[in-house]
Every structure is written in C-alpha cells, then in structure tokens.
A = this chain, B = another copy of it.
Amino acid sequence: MDAVDAVELPPLLPEPAASELRLEAVMAALAEPLRMTIARKLLLHSDEFDHPCGWFGFDRPKSSLTHHFKVLREAGVIHQRQYGLERRSRLRVEDLNDRFPGLLDLVAATESR
C-alpha cells in the first residue's frame, strides 16, 4: 500500500449511483449558469484532489454556494466529501462519460460568462 492509498478519505455524502443517473436531472443541474461554471471548472482545471468551495473563487454567499453544490451532487454530477467543517467536491467524470457520452465535451465547450 503506498502513501496515497493510505490516506483515509471521509465518506461520500449521499448521491445517486451511476446506474441511477438521469439525463433530465443532470441537465436540470447544469442548466443554472453558476452550476455549469462549477462543473466546467472542475472538468478543465481540477487535479485529482477534492476541491473546497473557496477554490472556485466565486463571490457569492456561502449558503448559495452550498445549495448549488448540493444540487450538483444530488443530480450525480459531483461527489462531495465532508472534511471537518468544509465540503469538497470532485466531478464524476467516469460516471458521466459512461452514462452520457459527449455530455462533458459540451460542458467543456460552453463559453464562460
């Protein structure tokens, strides 16, 4: 077991299984511009680590951000783990590519606004 495997991650917050993902729900989550931006940023600029919401640099109230991340998680777009007081997020790239091939290409190609 190497150093990376030895890291104990907090458990995932509740989320749908890959087999339960529905295109309508994923589209509803991504239809909101800030949430689309979150998904695109995780897709294009993220490394292998979970990202706290401060990483995104949004000038929005924390309660609003918490809500948007939760919508993304409940639709199956992101994983979230609780690190102490903070939730960190990661895009479900494999699950989304498996269930909805081409969707993340569309997200990547969307203009930032």
Q: Which A residues are within 8 Å of any B CB, using their own CB?
A: 23-25, 27-28, 30-33, 36, 100-103, 105-107, 110
Copies of this protein in the assembly total 2
> How far is A90 from B28 in the complex, measured between Cα atoms in Å?
23
A selection of 5 A-B contacts at a CB cut-off of 8 Å is: A23-B30, A23-B110, A24-B32, A24-B36, A27-B31
* A interface, over-half SS: helix
Residues of chain B within 8 A of A101, CB atoms compared: 102, 105-106
Q: In the bound complex, do residue A105 and residue B106 qualify as a contact, i.e. CB atoms below 8 Å apart?
A: no
A109 to chain B, nearest CB (A): 8
Enumerate chain B residues within 8 angstroms of A25, measured Cβ to Cβ. Answer: 31
